[in-house]
Amino acid sequence: MADNRRPSTAAGKGGRRSGIAAWPSDDRPREKLFRQGEHQLSGAELLAILIGSGRVGEDALTLARRILARFKTFREMSHTDPRDWLEFKGMGPAKLARIRAALEIGRRFREVEVRASRRKISAPADIVEAYRDRLRDLKHEVFKVLLLDGRNRIIEDREIVQGTTNGAYPVLREILNEASRRFASGLVAMHNHPSGDPSPSREDREFTARLNEAAELLGLKLLDHVIFGDQPPYFSFTEQDLL
């Protein structure tokens, strides 16, 4: 009976090819993508295409499966540190750079898609839908401001400061300068809590009060300050009647 098993990843006698290159073409991730479409590929197959090549004794798909078993999801993978990849032999800086770039493209695509379909901010849910995926899983605090026109439509979002695992300390002057430069009528403050708990700290409350007061002096409306976490997924100052 014919043996239809895939060839071993180890090189055989006589210089026989090994790894994905030795598989039947129908089984190779890249060929499968062009033949059936990228939506038909598993997460490991997509990752294997980015990895490109494995190493002696382990092809790219096997390596991709091990990486996914370690990080569980692409969401978790997107916020790893280079040190988290040291256990994977054959994953050098070039391969890791390709993976991180692809994950960032996915995040930016999502942001553009949301803005195109919902440019007006009518409720905290609009803010959460647009920015939750980018901010909730970061391992350090990031403070962003969303600039709005007179009809609460998005003009631009700006990252004001990137902090540490314990905090980010935005400067009111920088926020207001950005709003004035883009002729904004309103703004939304956003930041994340790496701990996963979005409950505002005393500093968060005091900062929001100062920002609201400063914005009013310039004729700006602070619509909300949203803090992203995990459980619950966010805290809205507007929803809690704190603005």
| Burial class for 110, CB neighbours closer than 10 Å (0-12, 13-18, 19+) | middle
Q: What is the pTM of this model?
A: 0.56
CATH architecture of 120-236: 3-Layer(aba) Sandwich (3.40)
Phi, psi of 103 (to 5 degrees): -65, -40
The stretch 116-133 carries a mean pLDDT of 78
pLDDT-above-70 percentage for the chain: 81
Query: Of the ranges 84-88, 177-181, 226-230, which is most confident?
Result: 226-230
| CA quadruple 74, 75, 79, 82: dihedral, nearest 10 | -10
Is the pLDDT at 5 greater than 60? The verdict is: no
Confidence class for position 53, pLDDT limits 50, 70, 90: confident
Is residue 213 classed exposed, middle or buried when 0-12, 13-18 and 19+ CB atoms within 10 A define those classes?
exposed
> Tokens 């190493």 identify what position?
55
Residues 210-215, mean pLDDT to the nearest whole number: 94
- Contact between 128 and 238 (Cβ < 8 Å): no
pLDDT at position 13 over 50 = no
Flag whether pLDDT at 134 surpasses 70. Answer: yes
Task: Tell me: pLDDT of 168 over 80.
Answer: no
Model confidence at 4, pLDDT cuts 50, 70, 90, reads very low
pLDDT at residue 11 tops 50: no
Q: Return the pLDDT at 103.
A: 86
**What's the pLDDT score for residue 236?**
96
Q: Identify each DSSP E strand in 131-220 by its residue range.
A: 142-148, 154-162, 186-192
Q: What is the mean pLDDT of the chain?
A: 81
pLDDT at 157: 84
Label residue 228 by pLDDT band (50, 70, 90).
Answer: very high
Mean pLDDT of 183-198: 92
Tell which residue, 164, 162, 188, 163, has the closest CA to residue 175. 188
Instruction: Determine the distance from the C-alpha atom of residue 217 to the mean position of all C-alpha atoms in its chain, rounded to a whole number.
Output: 35
Report which of residues 34 and 108 the model is more confident about.
Answer: 34
Contact, 91 vs 58, CB < 8 A? Answer: no
At 14-23, the pLDDT tens digits run 444 446 665 6
